[in-house]
């Protein structure tokens, strides 16, 4: 099969489109013919070697978390899916990923593709949907009347989190460098251009901060939380010492396997028209380097999709 592999850590230039062995499904696994995948921050961090303390990759390695495609073959013990089924999935971050024509995924990581979405849209919803749902529903237990500040609200996870927060009845404040009109279309109550104004000067007493940027943005976010508030981040471990100093709580967001049930719930919301992924660009898998460069430019709206099957 064709796949994008890395043979060493580095910038986008280490991503190589080449021949690779086609995997075979083991017990409890399905082999998926990949139609579409996406670029996630996790993929860029793993490629650069920033995650070596958490994941050990054997080179050459295939990255890519999001999967939408068709079941090609099932391993022993699999009865919930059959060849020909349209599915979407979140690949195990510790294994070879979806930047390839085929991928094997544990059946517990797979759900039926929402019929109303095409493969590009389904791929754009997998990891973002799981992360947003875990953050807002399970970790924050976000409820009607609460206020949430979402950084990078126009991005992949951000724009799904906005829709989910509004669905839960929360007031949503979103920061972005551009695409403020897009945030308003999503239902953001207050959109802040973080290049034009320091958000901490106009935001205060929020119940939850969903930090999708890390760094200085995270450090400045502690002060806007109300006492006992919660800072969540899937991109950088928030300091428990700093949280205690401010009298608030903090948690790292990490959607560990299995996520199949979460994908089913996300699919139901998509089918009901309650959440919808936005795609900013669709590129062929061969243009993976350009896709990573675009993502790291940090000016994307929604998701960058990599199309494997036209």
Task: For residue 112, give its domain range.
Answer: 2-126+257-307
Please write the tens of the pLDDT for every residue from 62-100: 999 999 999 999 999 999 999 999 999 999 988 889 999
Which residue among 252, 268, 299 closes a domain?
252
Task: Give the domain CATH number at 241.
Answer: 3.40.50.720
Give the Å distances, CA to CA, from 229 to 201, 208, 210, 251: 18, 6, 11, 11
Q: Which residue has the higher pLDDT, 148 or 52?
A: 148
Number of domains in the chain: 2
Q: Which residue in the block uniquely carries the two structure tokens 């929360």?
A: 170
Please write the tens of the pLDDT for every residue from 118-157: 999 999 999 999 999 999 999 999 999 999 999 999 999 9
Contacts (Cβ under 8 Å, ≥6 apart) of 127: 38, 40, 42, 65, 66, 90, 156, 157, 255
- H or E element in which residue 264 lies: helix 260-271
Q: What is the DSSP string of 100-160?
A: BSEEEEEGGGEEEPPTTS-HHHHHHHHHHHHHHHIIIIIIS---TT-EEEETTTTSHHHHH
Mean pLDDT over residues 235-252, rounded? Answer: 94
pLDDT confidence band for 310 (50 / 70 / 90)? low
- 139 and 121 in a single domain? The answer is no
Q: Is the pLDDT of residue 256 over 80?
A: no
- 73 and 180 in a single domain? The answer is no
Task: Give the domain CATH number at 52.
Answer: 3.90.180.10
pLDDT confidence band for 52 (50 / 70 / 90)? confident
pTM given for the model: 0.93
- 246 and 264 in a single domain? The answer is no
- 133 and 104 in a single domain? The answer is no
- 227 and 276 in a single domain? The answer is no
Q: Is the pLDDT of residue 254 over 90?
A: no
pLDDT at 185: 94
- 230 and 85 in a single domain? The answer is no
- Do the Cβ atoms of 8 and 14 come closer than 8 Å? yes
- Do the Cβ atoms of 208 and 140 come closer than 8 Å? yes
- Do the Cβ atoms of 308 and 285 come closer than 8 Å? yes
Closest of 211, 215, 263, 260 to residue 232, by C-alpha: 211
- 221 and 276 in a single domain? The answer is no
């Amino acid at each position: 099969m064709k796949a994008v592999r890395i043979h060493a850590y580095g910038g986008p230039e280490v991503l190589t489109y080449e021949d690779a062995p086609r995997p075979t499904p083991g017990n409890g696994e399905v082999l998926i013919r990949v139609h579409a995948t996406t670029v996630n921050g996790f993929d860029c961090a793993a490629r650069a070697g920033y995650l070596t303390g958490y994941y050990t990759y054997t080179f050459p390695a295939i990255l890519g978390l999001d999967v939408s495609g068709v079941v090609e073959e099932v391993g022993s013990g699999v009865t919930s899916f059959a060849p020909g089924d349209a599915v979407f999935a979140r690949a195990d971050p510790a294994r070879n990923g979806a930047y390839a024509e085929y991928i094997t995924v544990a059946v517990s990581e797979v759900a039926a593709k929402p019929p109303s979405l095409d493969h590009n849209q389904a791929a754009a919803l997998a990891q973002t949907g799981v992360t947003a749902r875990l953050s807002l529903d399970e970790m924050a237990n976000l409820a009607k009347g609460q206020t949430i500040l979402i950084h990078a609200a126009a991005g992949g996870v951000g724009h799904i989190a906005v829709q989910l927060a509004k669905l839960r009845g929360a007031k949503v404040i979103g920061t972005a460098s551009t695409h403020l009109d897009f945030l308003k279309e999503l239902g953001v109550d207050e959109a802040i251009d973080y290049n034009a104004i320091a958000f901490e000067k106009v935001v205060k007493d929020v119940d939850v901060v969903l930090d999708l940027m890390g760094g200085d943005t995270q450090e400045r976010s502690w002060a806007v939380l109300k006492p006992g508030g919660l800072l969540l981040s899937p991109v950088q471990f928030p300091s428990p010492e700093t949280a205690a100093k401010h009298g608030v709580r903090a948690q790292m967001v990490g959607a560990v396997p299995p996520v199949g049930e979460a994908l089913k719930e996300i699919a139901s919301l998509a089918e009901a028209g309650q959440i919808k992924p936005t795609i900013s660009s669709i590129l062929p898998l061969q243009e993976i380097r350009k896709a990573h460069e675009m993502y790291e430019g940090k000016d994307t709206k929604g998701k960058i999709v990599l199309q494997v099957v036209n």
